[in-house]
Structure 1
Amino acid sequence: MGKKRQLSITDVAYRPSLSAPIGMDVLGFTELSRRAALRGLDLSAPLRPSFHHLIHVSQGPVRHTVDFQDRTLDSGSWIWVRAGQVHQYVPGDHTAARGTIVIWQPGFLSTEPLDNDAPMVPTGRHARAASLALRHLVHAYGDLASLPLDAHIETLRHLLGVLLLRLAHACPAPAQPGAASEVFRGFRAAVERDFADCHHVKDYAAALGYDARTLTRATQDATGTTAKQYLDARILLEARRLLAHTDATSAEISRQLGFPDPSDFTKFFRKRDGGTPLRFREVARGRRRRQG
């Protein structure tokens, strides 16, 4: 018998084509498959890219999973996969699909107007406007010689922002309680960086120069949840990722997520998920086998 394959999440660093401007790249599904093969990446396995993807499918369908959400991208669909999310394609789908994938590093855009992380299917004039914005971006991307590099990069930055803004208005996300404030944006960034080491809202508040009530108000305004609920949800998501996609034991995951004792992790997980970590792993693995 062959050696059992070790399950893991593969972190994928940003590595554009040699001709790509700094911070952003455009490719199709054929090129995606070629680059994956060159880097030894299995696109049907769990991948955690350090960069954003905006995927537009012109000929589908493409079945795709992003952090346990199954997505079927039919022709005309768009989806934004954020940097750090764990995603994978159903085997074979990406090789038959046609479309455009825009990738960019965090920080390439000063603001990101699109909040929707579900498949988007613009219709009518919205579909035409989004398609035109994408064509304009792709044309400018390929026209490297017509502008100095700094101007070329700035042009692409603006055109990508226009495309995301078009999609934001064509397919608005479900209503959110309110706009994200500077306080919440700072808290969100700190949680993303430190959730495995810091589990207490008061510690984030102290580091950011606020009190805990201020963080909670800002988080409730932006998400409808308390700061503690937001923090716990982020820890829980990472726990689910590690349970579903890696062979790490519950004790190992407990240590990775900053719990002093495995029993503390089990209590945390049971309270927020409704079952034990091992039960979640069994269900997630069984679901993946059925999909495969």
Structure 2
Amino acid sequence: MVTTGQLPPASRTDLPPVRPAADEITTSALAELAPEPGWRRPVLLDAELLILVTGGHGVAELDFRALPCRPGTLLRVRSGQALRCLGPHLDATVVRWAAGTLRGLDVDPDAVPAYRQLAGEDEDAVISEVTQLAVDADRHAGVPAAAPLLRHQLAVLLLRLSLLPASEESTPRAETETFRRLCREVERGYQHTRRVEDYAARLGCSVRTLTRACLAVTGRSAKQVIDERVALQASRLLAATDEPIARIGRRLGFPEPTNFGRFFTREVGVSPGAFRAGRERPVPVRVVRPRPPADSPAGPGRA
């Protein structure tokens, strides 16, 4: 029987530093995610992840939100997010898969909370399933016939996590669904437009409907939600890459660097240059508060 906190450590050779194939599921130790020892700065992830902390205490900075970690902490990390993990002897098992891995299965990975502290029977069940998945992924690495087994194990794990009792206040279902639809559309279009009217037209609803849904779920207007998503992407690129600031601005729809600078300073509170200069400093740890469902595109540092 597997007991709480006794997940076997993964080999450092389990996870090659490349993006997994479309149907590949791999497991690794947390250290495999760091581009260099000590997590000097955040790294942009190129795959979907579940991270289960198995030992030590520390902080995970997920999109510039500081999340306290201890055994039983679960993180759901999306491809494209910025991650840095800090803390003495912080150990975790990482389950990693590509976006197309679960295609055709009736499971929504985005229904899994981005941050959860497991306990009791829930923790035991998740540890047991992660343990078995890690063992099978290692034992059957590179075996095509094992792919369906691993896919279904991962699907069961994600379904279990999505069914955990909600830890935040409920929001009317219609408004929650409208908000989620907006988030999906913003993910596709934030580099091209920040106008609420454009997203309302794409979704076939009114600006008022979008704003009402965003206020109900996040307490912020639709325009704020869109702008925060743009600021979040800018923060990711400033912190995790050395791409020139002006080029980052152009990628996000700001042909003029001064306009990008004003926008970023308004949203984040510091200039792009100052933000990049401080990227090696840890994010202050704050009390973890409930977040909007579906991992909405909240702005950096707004815990």
Q: Could you say whether these structures have the same fold, taking a TM-score greater than 0.5 normalized by the shorter chain as the test?
A: yes
- Unaligned stretches of 5+ in structure 1? 1-11
Match of 1:101 in 2: 94
- The alignment's TM-score, normalised by the length of structure 1, stands at 0.71
Aligned residue pairs total 260
Once residues 254 and 228 of structure 2 are traced to their aligned partners in structure 1, the CA distance between those partners, rounded to angstroms, is 15
Residue type of the partner of 1:263?
T
Is 2:213 the partner of 1:229?
A: no
Select which of 154, 165, 178 maps to 2:162.
165
Decide whether aligned partners of structure 1 residues 212 and 62 sit closer, same or farther in structure 2, where only a CA change above 3 A counts. Answer: same
Select which of 71, 76, 88 maps to 2:72.
76
Match of 2:149 in 1: 152
Contact 2:126 2:157 in 1 (8 A): no
- The alignment's TM-score, normalised by the length of structure 2, stands at 0.69
Decide whether aligned partners of structure 1 residues 285 and 29 sit closer, same or farther in structure 2, where only a CA change above 3 A counts. Answer: closer
Select which of 257, 271, 277 maps to 1:276.
271
Match of 1:257 in 2: 252
Which deviates the most, 49-58 or 241-250? 241-250
Is 2:105 the partner of 1:111?
A: no
Higher relative contact order (CA 8 A, sep 6+): 2
What's the CA shift for 1:182?
A: 4.4
Contact 1:23 1:104 in 2 (8 A): yes
What's the CA shift for 1:233?
A: 0.5
Once residues 185 and 84 of structure 1 are traced to their aligned partners in structure 2, the CA distance between those partners, rounded to angstroms, is 18
Is 2:19 the partner of 1:14?
A: yes
Contact 2:113 2:162 in 1 (8 A): no
Once residues 20 and 67 of structure 2 are traced to their aligned partners in structure 1, the CA distance between those partners, rounded to angstroms, is 25
Match of 2:26 in 1: 25
Contact 1:57 1:78 in 2 (8 A): yes
Decide whether aligned partners of structure 1 residues 59 and 271 sit closer, same or farther in structure 2, where only a CA change above 3 A counts. Answer: closer
What's the CA shift for 1:228?
A: 1.0
- Unaligned stretches of 5+ in structure 2? 1-16, 285-303
Once residues 13 and 211 of structure 1 are traced to their aligned partners in structure 2, the CA distance between those partners, rounded to angstroms, is 43
Is 2:261 the partner of 1:266?
A: yes
Q: RMSD across aligned C-alpha pairs, in angstroms?
A: 3.7
Decide whether aligned partners of structure 1 residues 14 and 222 sit closer, same or farther in structure 2, where only a CA change above 3 A counts. Answer: farther
What's the CA shift for 1:234?
A: 0.5
Match of 1:47 in 2: 43
Once residues 247 and 51 of structure 2 are traced to their aligned partners in structure 1, the CA distance between those partners, rounded to angstroms, is 34
Decide whether aligned partners of structure 1 residues 107 and 229 sit closer, same or farther in structure 2, where only a CA change above 3 A counts. Answer: farther
Larger CA Rg, structure 1 vs 2: 1
Residue type of the partner of 1:204?
Y
Once residues 268 and 186 of structure 1 are traced to their aligned partners in structure 2, the CA distance between those partners, rounded to angstroms, is 25
